[in-house]
Amino acid sequence: MKLTATRSRTITWEDPIAAAEQRLDLSGLDHLHAIREGRVPPPPIAALMGLDLVDAGEGRAVFAVTPEEFHYNPIGVVHGGLAATLIDSATGCAVQSTLEPGVVYTSLEVKVNFARAITRDTGRLLCEGTVVHRGRTIATAEARLVAEATGKLHAHGTATCLLMAANGRAA
């Protein structure tokens, strides 16, 4: 078996704790807008995986990624973790967009359904998350991951999030 040339990738990021602390004085939607506009650095996971927050509105968040070789798994397609991460991010940020200053969330459960394989040839993917229900302590959201060029569905999923005050108590 002949192996191909080794590749490398370098990423950089800013302190995620300092960036998260900036969020406490902002509504969730204002925080997402600050990230998209570059006033607050994106989380390190976005740099690591190549995710871009492309839009956010009340109860809605859209992420994009272009599948690359570094997303591949051992069977020659993009690892399902990329789709799962996009769905978790889009659903979570859709919920975040509804939060008041000082309220945070965490994912309690994420369910992903894979519809078709993703490769570099798939091109740019868009993942739109929307809030289904926003209660006082629990919120649910759903997301669809589609190829931008064709509109074909590659994955979809749902998430449940716990809402709480930044100090860890119930919201």
Task: Tell me: pLDDT of 147 over 60.
Answer: yes
User: Could you read off the pLDDT of 92-146 as tens digits, one per residue?
Assistant: 999 999 999 999 999 999 999 999 999 999 999 999 999 999 999 999 999 999 9
Give dist(CA 91, CA 128) in Å, integer. 8
Which residues face 55 on adjacent strands?
A: 62
Q: How far is CA 61 from CA 87, 98, 129, 142, 170, in A?
A: 10, 11, 5, 11, 24
| Burial state string for 140-157 with b = 16 or more CB within 10 A and e = fewer than 16 | bbbbbbbbeeeeeebbbb
User: Could you read off the pLDDT of 47-81 as tens digits, one per residue?
Assistant: 999 999 999 999 999 999 999 999 999 999 999 99
pLDDT of res. 73: 96
pLDDT of res. 45: 96
CATH 3.40.50.1370 fits 16-165, yes or no: no
Cα dihedral 76→118→63→39 (10° resolution): 30
| Burial state string for 14-34 with b = 16 or more CB within 10 A and e = fewer than 16 | eeeeebeeebeebbbbbbbbb
Task: Tell me the pTM.
Answer: 0.94
